[in-house]
């Protein structure tokens, strides 16, 4: 049986101290400062299960291990944020020194370790792994292991700032729309969207510089190369188109007239200037009929 009470520490006036949670039980008694920006009523809620969600702010290693283990056992999505090291042993080996990181343990066995930069995890394990959360030398250790191939990801926390477990339910699958394939299909179905008289002859036509998205002819019989992009593009796309045009000019007869057209929703000012400089063209078109 435990009781919770609110107390002001460090003085009797609001400016003299800070709000703390005072928790007493038969097993332990402690006082912990609330995190900045968290109201006192929010902090109490943060330590109790609510609608399939368990979360703790600044938990002890034992509290974090208990929450994470319980979450893994019941198939929850578990997240931990704190200062940790990361070691991988398997097809190769890697070590990551002490730093602040966000760890995610998914019900399908995947494990992800993120830093405060970039979109990709700095280390990870694929679905099908087994997660183990334990205490070692008074610190939380999280291990994600699989046997085929044999590999382990071991995360050792020196401190945990936040731990949470979510009973996630997401039955939907990602429906990707507006791809370059959609843009290609739109042009093949209605070539006049590029220009009147344009006739597609091939897709993914190989050149020494790579495969051309759409290869065709204009109404005057001149070769036309289309480079398709699903979003606003810059000079790199112009350079890619230019390489295709130059490769085809070398590949075809010496006096071949090859037009290069960049098809995208929009281009940057630098890309527009480079198109003019290289004698290339631009057609504004989106993957969907907008």
pLDDT in tens, 168-226: 888 876 666 688 999 999 999 999 999 999 999 999 999 999 999 999 999 999 999 99
Give the span between the Cα atoms of 261 and 196, in whole angstroms.
14
- For each of the domains in the chain, give its residue range(s) and CATH number, in order of start: 1-40 (no CATH), 46-166 (2.70.180.20), 180-284 (3.40.1350.10)
DSSP 178-244: S-HHHHHHHHHH-GGGT-TT-EEEEEEEEETTEEEEEEEE-TTS-EEEEEE-SS-B-HHHHHHHHHH
CA distances from 132 to 73, 100, 111, 112 (A): 10, 20, 11, 14
Is pLDDT of 125 > 70? yes
Point out which residues pair with 164 in neighbouring strands. 55, 79
Give dist(CA 202, CA 234) in Å, integer. 26
Degrees (nearest 5) of the Cα angle 154, 155, 161? Answer: 165
- The whole-number pLDDT of residue 41 equals 42
Does the global pTM surpass 0.85? no
User: Distance between CA atoms of 78 and 148, rounded to whole angstroms?
Assistant: 24
Considering the chain, what is the average pLDDT of its residues?
84
Give the tens place of pLDDT for each residue, 23-58. 333 333 333 444 455 444 444 335 444 468 999 999
Residue 174: predicted pLDDT: 64
The DSSP code for 16 is G
Model confidence at 281, pLDDT cuts 50, 70, 90, reads very high
């Amino acid at each position: 049986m435990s009781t919770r009470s609110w107390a002001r520490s460090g003085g009797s006036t609001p400016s003299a101290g800070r709000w703390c949670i005072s928790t007493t039980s038969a097993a332990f008694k402690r006082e912990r400062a609330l995190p900045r920006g968290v109201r006192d009523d929010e902090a109490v809620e943060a330590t109790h299960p609510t609608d399939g969600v368990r979360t703790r702010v600044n938990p002890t290693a034992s509290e974090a291990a208990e929450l994470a283990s319980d979450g893994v056992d019941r198939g929850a999505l578990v997240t931990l944020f704190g200062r940790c090291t990361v070691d991988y042993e398997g097809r190769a080996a890697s070590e990551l020194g002490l730093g602040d990181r966000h760890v995610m343990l998914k019900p399908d066995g995947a494990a992800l370790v993120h830093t405060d930069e970039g979109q990709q995890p700095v280390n990870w394990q694929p679905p099908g792994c087994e997660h183990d959360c334990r205490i070692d030398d008074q610190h939380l250790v999280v291990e994600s292991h699989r046997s085929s191939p044999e590999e382990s990801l071991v995360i050792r926390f020196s401190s945990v700032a936040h731990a949470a477990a979510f009973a996630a339910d997401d039955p939907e699958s990602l429906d990707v729309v507006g791809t370059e394939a959609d843009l290609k299909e739109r042009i093949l179905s209605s070539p006049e969207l590029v220009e009147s008289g344009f006739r597609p002859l091939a897709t993914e036509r190989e050149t020494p510089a790579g495969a051309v998205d759409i290869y065709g002819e204009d109404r005057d019989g001149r070769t036309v190369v289309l480079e398709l992009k699903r979003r606003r593009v810059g000079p790199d796309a112009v350079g890619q188109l230019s390489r295709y045009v130059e490769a085809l000019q070398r590949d075809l007869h010496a006096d071949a007239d090859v037009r290069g057209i960049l098809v995208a929703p929009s281009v940057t000012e630098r890309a527009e200037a480079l198109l003019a400089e290289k004698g290339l063209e631009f057609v504004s078109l989106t993957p969907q009929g907008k």
